[in-house]
Amino acid sequence: MTNQAGTSVRLSISMPKESWLHVSLVVCFAAAIALLMFLDYFNLEKIAFFNDTGFMFDYTWKGRLFLFLFFWLFVLESLSGFKLLKERGIKSWSKLRLVAIFLCALIPLIYVIGINFLGLDQIVLGAGEFVRLDYWKANSIFWSNFLHGDWPLSLEYVVFTVAFVATVLLAYGKKGLRTFSISVALVAGIAVVYMIDTMYPGGAFTPFQVLALPTSACAAALLQAIGMRFSLVFSPILSSTPVISTNVNGSMISTSIAWPCAGVQSLFLYTILILLLFKRSNISLFRKSVYFVIGAVGTYSVNVLRIVTYFVLLVNQGTDAALTFHNVYGELYFFAWILLYMLLIIGIQKYSLVEKTKTAFTKIVTRRNP
């Protein structure tokens, strides 16, 4: 480009080092998820189980849809993360530290490449055989699914969690864990929940499974209220899971309600997310207690509704529709609820809705009783 005097003018776009570092870290995690999605969509993954199961980014139990949600939260929290980098300043950082940061951020991408192109999948399967194969074979005829499907998927979330936490600590410091607390909590929570169910499949994890019976009983009561015929059986001698049986096209179909089906993991994630929200706010202790109890009741009710929805679909639309709901849409009940509830709390606090309601009520009472 030239000006009227014919002098050449150079246009350059400059970004501070903090911006380049922050954007680069976001791109590293985006590249890992994008490559994984590409391999998954075109059935190119090395472990054959995933090629037979379908597009895992459609599934919430057990699937990869939460990686999308994790990355979305990461991007939303990035503005605060960038400000934190500017406060810390990176000009004085050594090259070794920057290399360590990028290596941590690239771990998920390296892992995906290693699994599919460098033979790392055999090491992962070998580790699964060493850690849990004997237990799986002794307790289920579906042990191959646990080894080739649940185990690699659970480990995948663990890799993303470890890499993300390490990256945040190295790049953003301890304050970074608070800045990215929601995204960290989500990916770490899913990793823990998936791994527990992988290690103790079929509702064998007693601390969680104990909550499945009351949730199933509430769902059964709601099924009765809407006029659906069913039977609910629970025998700790034969099985630790409650079983609901319904008549589908003239034959009885029985469904075991393990703790993931009862949404116990939703209560676990709710507790983490709501406590993080409270920690980042100036809400009074009394209001926090009220919000927590109401949210817990709401989460429990959503879990009951999810079980009821499954059986309504099973009776009216068949097994395929019910399984699709179970694998894809069921978990979204909770995330839609918790998102709306947290936005409601933020709205109430930001616009002082409780105070305004009290003031309006006082004025009404004063007018009636002058």
Count how many Cα atoms sit within 13 Å of the Cα of residue 207 in the half-sphere of its side chain.
Answer: 6
| Percent of the chain as helix, strand, coil, to the nearest 5 | 75, 5, 20
Q: Is the pLDDT of residue 355 over 90?
A: no
Q: Is the pLDDT of residue 199 over 90?
A: yes
Average pLDDT for 231-246: 83
Check residue 56 and give its pLDDT: 96
- Phi and psi (nearest 5°) for 128? -65, -40
CA-to-CA dists, residue 291 to 247, 263, 279, 288, 304, angstroms: 40, 20, 13, 5, 20
Beta pairing class for 230-233 and 243-248: antiparallel
Average pLDDT for 94-101: 93
Q: Which of 230, 221, 231 is nearest to 301 (CA)?
A: 221
- Exposed, middle or buried by CB within 10 Å (0-12, 13-18, 19+), for 266? buried
% of the chain with per-residue pLDDT over 70: 95
Average pLDDT for 13-42: 89
Q: What is the mean pLDDT of the chain?
A: 90
> pLDDT band for position 237 (50/70/90)?
low
CA dist 296 and 311 (Å) reads: 23
Residues 6+ apart with CB under 8 A from 252: 245, 246
Check residue 84 and give its pLDDT: 82
> pLDDT band for position 235 (50/70/90)?
confident
Average pLDDT for 91-100: 88
> pLDDT band for position 3 (50/70/90)?
low
Instruction: Please give the order of strands across the beta sheet that includes 251-256.
Output: 230-233, 243-248, 251-256
Strands (E), 122-266: 230-233, 243-248, 251-256
Q: Which two tokens stand for residue 148?
A: 């080739």
What's this model's pTM, rounded to 2 decimal places? 0.90
